[in-house]
């Protein structure tokens, strides 16, 4: 039995935050050293940060990252540590993992498979390293091996799969196993999405089983660069069993998960596997050798953390709450904002944004305590005076209800109830006089009165736009972040007023559909996150039909009356945008799901969706940054590209109409 203590560290890094990133790496190394860890895996590109984007093409960034690597190398006494940084070689930039021990840089492994889909654009900055290829890198006056390397430290062989390398069919791990790897380290920057943890868990387990190795997986944590949230997965597996797993979606800056692995056990498992075909070269040039003396630790029981919120009836609700709360908390503090401002209309969307702002504080308190919050928000001059989470909520969350003559007491009272329930600083403004002033100004210029019959959209939009300057002014007065309240369903069809309800520096719920959001609000009213509980005041919101309240009250305006049922809208969106189906194909699919709905009515909704989708791409281009939460995102900057100007599916919609007409004629009874 040869026992080795290994660990995965998760870090909440920030692109190009050289001092902060370095401090957190040092803290992780110190924590691991204190636990007697011999091998430590840090996340992908942990020195620079993963989200540097085109700064990866800056020679100064490469030089600084390498200089910091040499400084951090001095912290690796009696340890083997992997670091992530970009390296320029042979005219290309490579995403590499560097193995260091006892102050000595052993070599650099290049990532073989680059993430180039979804929100990832790695091929824009990096070149993929070819398998079975090694070279010599000249840096800082010294030569280092670089490439598809295996490291033999003492008598233990260590290899790498870097993030995407483990997500492909032909994983480098198979070749590493043939070369006799005992341990595979996977430094990752894998963004959060619903259910993604289970996929990672499967490839970690399968990698350890199929390759007969011990597998160490370390992911980034938190909102690193603005849009992507990282959940901080840390897993250690051996021979198809999870030995240790860390907490996900933590508010901590650093966490280390450790476990004892038995190298002899994985070696013997491989030896008894008939299909294993070892590489028996005596001195292959892809192996980097170094002396390292592993201690002989006592056996220990590793801890597999299964968070209580993962075992509940609604795990997606918990994941959504905790991911957005963490993303919002990091966005506020990394932008050095004093708090958030929400235009609280009394409807579902703004209530959700306000509630998430409150939950970011409650979940932070639950995870890191009030002292942890103070430390992270220490740039606030009065942070030392805030002695309770209620005081933090009052200090950091400002909500405002802005009434016009078309507003109702129902929404006004609902907004007040939600604000009271979350302890926000709540204001009420009457902006009707400002709306009327704009109407008179424009009417005077046109020489005619504006009417609902002739100017419906203009009269609706001016009410939403008039509310924007007030909330922007509040944000400026308090030095706070203005949160936009738009959701994904509205973004799909442009059911939002540009420079009105879309105003803000961040759109926390623009990545989630309205149908789910309404379900989540009911859950939050009655159940709420584990350890936090419900916000019962949301009942005043959940009892309403969603409405913009921009037309006269006598018209009974509702969102679904203007558009279509949100459940239908969201299903059409997935078929049209996620699955890339044409209008007629979408109609057929929707008919199979909703045979009880009249064909002509469904065709009207499909037609409306495609027309509004094409007409409103310019709006999606202007939305505030949003969080990526699933693989159905509409953000044109990170996920879903579509032309601002297009033919608008005119031919395809005509084909759908012809199909419907033929169906209707065929179903008519003879007269």
Strands 142-147, 134-139: pairing is antiparallel
Q: Which of 271, 287, 306 is a domain's end point?
A: 306
- What mean pLDDT, rounded, does the chain reach? 94
Q: Quote the tokens at residue 232.
A: 């901080």
DSSP class per residue in 573-625: HIIIIIS---HHHHHHHHHHH-TTS-HHHHHHHHHHHHHHHHHTHHHHHHSPP
Closest CA to 120 of 228, 26, 244, 259: 228
Q: Are residues 436 and 299 in the same domain?
A: no
DSSP state of 448: S
User: How far apart are alpha carbons 626 and 508 in whole angstroms?
Assistant: 5
pLDDT band at 240 (very low <50, low <70, confident <90, very high): very high
Q: Are residues 576 and 469 in the same domain?
A: no
With the C-alpha atoms ordered 58, 62, 67, 68, is the resulting torsion angle positive or negative?
positive
User: How far apart are alpha carbons 392 and 370 in whole angstroms?
Assistant: 9
Q: Are residues 353 and 217 in the same domain?
A: no
Q: Are residues 571 and 551 in the same domain?
A: no
> Looking up tokens 């939002």, which residue turns up?
496
User: How far apart are alpha carbons 189 and 510 in whole angstroms?
Assistant: 22
Q: Are residues 326 and 207 in the same domain?
A: no
Provide the pLDDT for residue 270.
86
Q: How far is CA 544 from the centre of its chain?
A: 30
Decide if pLDDT at 179 tops 90.
Answer: yes
pTM: 0.94
Cα three-residue angle 473-475-479, rounded to 5 degrees: 120
Provide the pLDDT for residue 378.
96
Q: Mean pLDDT over residues 288-313, rounded?
A: 80
Decide if pLDDT at 444 tops 90.
Answer: yes
Give the C-alpha distances (Å, rounded to integers) separating 589 from 40, 559, 574, 598, 611.
Answer: 50, 24, 11, 14, 18
Decide if pLDDT at 84 tops 80.
Answer: yes
Decide if pLDDT at 668 tops 90.
Answer: no
CATH number of the CATH domain containing 14:
3.60.110.10
pLDDT band at 281 (very low <50, low <70, confident <90, very high): confident
Q: Are residues 550 and 568 in the same domain?
A: no
Q: Quote the tokens at residue 504.
A: 């803000």
Q: Quick check: helix, strand or coil at residue 43?
A: coil
Closest CA to 399 of 496, 475, 512: 475
Q: Are residues 663 and 638 in the same domain?
A: yes
Least confident of 195-199, 268-272, 533-537: 268-272
> Looking up tokens 């540009």, which residue turns up?
498
CATH number of the CATH domain containing 558:
3.40.50.620
Decide if pLDDT at 669 tops 60.
Answer: no
Contact in structure between 79 and 32 (CB atoms under 8 Å): yes
Per-residue pLDDT reduced to its tens digit, 457-516: 999 999 999 999 999 999 999 999 999 999 999 999 999 999 998 999 999 999 999 999
Q: Mean pLDDT over residues 511-529, rounded?
A: 96
* Count of the separate structural domains present in the chain: 3
Provide the pLDDT for residue 379.
96
Per-residue pLDDT reduced to its tens digit, 124-178: 999 999 999 999 999 989 999 999 999 999 999 999 999 999 999 999 999 999 9
* Beta strands per DSSP E along 344-424: 397-403
User: How far apart are alpha carbons 146 and 21 in whole angstroms?
Assistant: 24
Domain span holding position 616: 564-671
Which neighbouring-strand residues pair with 222? 230
Q: Which of 306, 335, 359 is a domain's end point?
A: 306
Per-residue pLDDT reduced to its tens digit, 391-425: 999 999 999 999 999 999 999 999 999 999 999 99
Q: Are residues 371 and 483 in the same domain?
A: yes
DSSP class per residue in 564-581: --HHHHHHHHIIIIIS--
Least confident of 69-78, 183-192, 290-299, 349-358: 290-299
User: How far apart are alpha carbons 40 and 506 in whole angstroms?
Assistant: 36
Higher pLDDT, 254 or 278: 254
pLDDT band at 306 (very low <50, low <70, confident <90, very high): low
On the 0-12 / 13-18 / 19+ scale of CB atoms within 10 A, 316 is middle
Q: What are phi and psi of 523, to 5 degrees?
A: -60, -40
Q: Are residues 286 and 322 in the same domain?
A: no
Q: How many CB atoms lie within 10 A of CB 600?
A: 12
Q: Are residues 519 and 377 in the same domain?
A: yes
pLDDT band at 545 (very low <50, low <70, confident <90, very high): confident
Q: Are residues 260 and 406 in the same domain?
A: no
Q: How many CB atoms lie within 10 A of CB 323?
A: 23
Q: How many CB atoms lie within 10 A of CB 584?
A: 18
pLDDT band at 536 (very low <50, low <70, confident <90, very high): very high
Q: Which of 531, 562, 593 is a domain's end point?
A: 562
Q: Are residues 414 and 459 in the same domain?
A: yes
Provide the pLDDT for residue 671.
41
Provide the pLDDT for residue 305.
64
CATH number of the CATH domain containing 584:
1.10.10
């Amino acid at each position: 039995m040869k026992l080795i203590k290994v660990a995965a560290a998760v870090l909440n890094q920030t692109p190009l935050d050289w001092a902060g990133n370095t401090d957190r790496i040092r803290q992780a190394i110190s924590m691991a050293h204190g636990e007697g860890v011999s091998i430590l895996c840090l996340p992908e590109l942990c020195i620079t940060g993963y989200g540097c984007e085109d700064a990866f093409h800056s020679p100064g960034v490469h030089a600084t990252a390498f200089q910091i690597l040499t400084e951090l190398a001095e912290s690796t006494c009696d340890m083997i540590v992997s670091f992530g940084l970009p390296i320029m070689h042979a005219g290309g930039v490579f995403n590499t993992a560097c193995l260091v021990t006892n102050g000595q840089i052993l070599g650099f492994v290049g990532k073989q498979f680059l993430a180039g889909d979804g929100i990832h654009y790695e091929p824009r900055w990096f070149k993929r390293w070819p398998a079975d290829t090694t070279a010599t890198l000249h840096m800082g006056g010294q030569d280092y091996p670089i490439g598809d390397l295996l490291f033999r430290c003492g008598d233990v062989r260590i290899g790498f799969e870097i993030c995407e390398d483990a997500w492909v069919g032909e994983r480098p791990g198979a070749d590493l196993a043939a070369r006799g790897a005992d341990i595979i380290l996977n430094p990752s920057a894998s963004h959060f999405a619903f259910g993604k943890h289970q996929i990672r868990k499967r490839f970690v387990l399968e990698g350890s089983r199929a390759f007969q190795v011990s597998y160490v997986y370390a992911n980034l944590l938190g909102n690193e660069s603005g849009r992507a949230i990282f959940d901080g997965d840390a897993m250690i597996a051996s021979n198809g069993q999870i030995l240790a797993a860390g907490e996900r979606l933590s508010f901590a800056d650093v966490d280390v998960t450790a476990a004892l692995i038995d190298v002899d056990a994985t070696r013997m498992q491989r030896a008894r596997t008939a299909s294993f075909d070892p590489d028996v070269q005596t001195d292959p040039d892809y192996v980097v050798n170094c002396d390292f003396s592993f201690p002989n630790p006592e056996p220990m029981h590793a801890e597999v953390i299964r968070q209580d919120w993962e075992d509940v009836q609604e795990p997606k609700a918990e994941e959504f709450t905790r991911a957005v709360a963490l993303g919002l908390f990091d966005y506020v503090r990394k932008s050095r904002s004093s708090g958030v401002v929400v235009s609280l209309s009394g409807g579902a969307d703004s209530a959700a944004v306000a509630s998430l702002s409150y939950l970011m504080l409650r979940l932070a308190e639950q995870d890191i305590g009030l002292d942890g919050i103070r430390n992270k928000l220490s740039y606030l001059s009065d942070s030392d005076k805030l002695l309770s989470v209620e005081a933090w909520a009052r200090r950091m969350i400002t909500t405002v209800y802005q009434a016009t003559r078309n507003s109702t007491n129902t929404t006004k009272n609902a907004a007040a109830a939600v604000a009271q329930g979350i302890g926000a600083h709540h204001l009420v403004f009457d902006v009707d006089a400002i709306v009327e002033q704009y109407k008179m100004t424009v009417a005077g210029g046109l020489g005619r009165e504006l009417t609902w019959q002739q100017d419906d959209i203009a009269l609706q939009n001016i009410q939403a736009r008039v509310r924007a300057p007030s909330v922007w002014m509040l944000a400026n007065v308090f030095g706070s972040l203005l949160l936009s309240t738009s959701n994904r369903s509205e973004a799909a069809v442009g059911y939002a007023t540009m420079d009105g309800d879309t105003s803000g520096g961040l759109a926390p719920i623009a990545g989630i559909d309205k149908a789910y959001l309404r379900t989540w609000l009911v859950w939050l009213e009655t159940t709420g996150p584990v350890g936090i509980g419900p916000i019962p005041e949301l009942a005043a919101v959940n009892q309403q039909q969603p409405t913009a309240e921009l037309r006269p009250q006598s018209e009974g305006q509702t969102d679904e009356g203007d558009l279509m049922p949100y459940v239908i809208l969201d299903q059409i969106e997935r078929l049209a945008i996620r699955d890339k189906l044409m209008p007629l194909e979408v109609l057929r699919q929707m008919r199979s799901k909703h045979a009880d709905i009249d064909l002509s009515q469904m065709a009207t909704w499909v037609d409306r969706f495609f027309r509004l989708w094409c007409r409103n791409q310019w709006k999606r281009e202007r939305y505030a940054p949003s969080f990526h939460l699933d693989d159905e995102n509409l953000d044109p900057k990170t996920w879903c590209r579509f032309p601002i100007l297009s033919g608008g599916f005119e031919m395809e919609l005509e084909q759908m109409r012809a199909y419907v007409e033929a169906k209707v004629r065929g179903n008519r009874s003879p007269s």
